[in-house]
Amino acid sequence: MSEQNALDVVGVGELATRVGVSPQTLRTWETQGLITSERTTGGQRRYSKSQAERAAHIAALRRQHGWNPAAIRTALGDSGGTTQPEFDRENRMLRAARNRRGLSLRKAAAAIGVSPALLSSVERGQAAVSTELFSRIADAYEMPMAALTAYGPSDQMVMRRDERPTGRGNVTWEELAYPGHGIAPSLVTVPPGEDSGGEYSRGGDTFAFVLAGQVRFTVAGRDVILDEEDSLLVPTRTRFSWSNPAKTEARIIWVETIAPGSWSDPHVQELETRAQLP
């Protein structure tokens, strides 16, 4: 990269300050296909000059009109939104996981409990994936949920704020550590009215600590309301669901334990090799 090009590229924190939004908002715009970034070898987001200008324009449209993503795309002259290479990698991961297990689309859909058409749409990035559905996919393929993300295991001990892999959808999952370890911690942001998409269970214990807002959990048929600084532990293979009943977003520290040996599975290891590919 030339010296001039290097000067034209900014990180997520600097761009957020420039346009007057939070780093989380920029990540959300990426999940909505409004802007794109490139990644350094360490996984850090970097925005080009054109994308920085685009972000500033989006921020201005939101402040002036309060428009939703579709209206903003129209105003920007987008026919189908920007390309989303991060999500392309995630879609490839889902297809690769199914293929590594030797499952046809029909057999995989039957194991997950969805139609082949829906699973095909998910693999192509044309259908939204709730937390409940993502969990069922991981269980059917006998893999940790973190193994199906676009980021493989890393020996890095520190993950900087602008390095967090971020899941798509209305509910935002920001990974707080690279996969490959005994726990999978995340920062979860749940907008008002959003939920898990139904009941599900995990192969390890699940711990939730509410940083802000309110979250309703239903655990084994029992309703529990968690307010700020409340916490909850859901035992292995206990069915539960969650939602945000309040009018403000909820933010949760979410930790799942990973079963011993999960990362030594040859199929999972091959997927993590794929995850490092551009």
Mean pLDDT, rounded, for 55-81: 72
Query: How high is the pLDDT of residue 167?
Result: 62
**234 or 22: which carries more pLDDT confidence?**
234
Confidence category of residue 151, pLDDT binned at 50, 70, 90: low
Cα distances from 66 to residues 27, 28, 60, 72, 229, in angstroms, run 18, 16, 9, 9, 31
Cα distances from 189 to residues 16, 174, 213, 244, in angstroms, run 18, 8, 10, 10
Query: How high is the pLDDT of residue 102?
Result: 86
Confidence category of residue 90, pLDDT binned at 50, 70, 90: low
Mean pLDDT, rounded, for 103-109: 92
Contact in structure between 180 and 204 (CB atoms under 8 Å): no
Confidence category of residue 269, pLDDT binned at 50, 70, 90: low
Mean pLDDT, rounded, for 8-13: 85
Architecture, CATH, for domain 84-156+260-278: Orthogonal Bundle (1.10)
Share above pLDDT 70 across residues of the chain, in percent, rounded to a whole number: 76
Does 85 score more than 70 pLDDT? no
What CATH fold (topology level) applies to the domain 183-257? Jelly Rolls (2.60.120)
Least confidently predicted of 30-39, 143-152, 196-205: 143-152
CATH of 3-76, one of 3.40.50.1820, 3.40.50.970, 1.10.1660.10, 3.30.465.10: 1.10.1660.10
Is 84-156+260-278 the same fold as 3-76?
no
Does 249 score more than 80 pLDDT? yes
Mean pLDDT, rounded, for 251-260: 90
Nearest-CA neighbor of 252 among 193, 199, 137, 173?
173
Tens of pLDDT, residues 157-211: 887 776 676 665 568 888 888 777 889 899 999 989 989 989 999 989 999 999 9
Total H helices, total E strands in the chain: 10, 11
Mean pLDDT, rounded, for 60-82: 68
Helix runs in the chain, H state only: 3-7, 12-19, 23-31, 49-65, 69-76, 85-100, 105-112, 116-123, 131-140, 266-275
In the chain, domain spans: 3-76, 84-156+260-278, 183-257
Query: How high is the pLDDT of residue 263?
Result: 63
Overall pTM surpassing 0.75 (yes/no): no
Query: How high is the pLDDT of residue 61?
Result: 81
Query: How high is the pLDDT of residue 76?
Result: 79
Query: What backbone torsions phi and psi does residue 108 show, to the nearest 5 degrees?
Result: -65, -45
Does 84 score more than 60 pLDDT? no
Mean pLDDT, rounded, for 19-25: 82
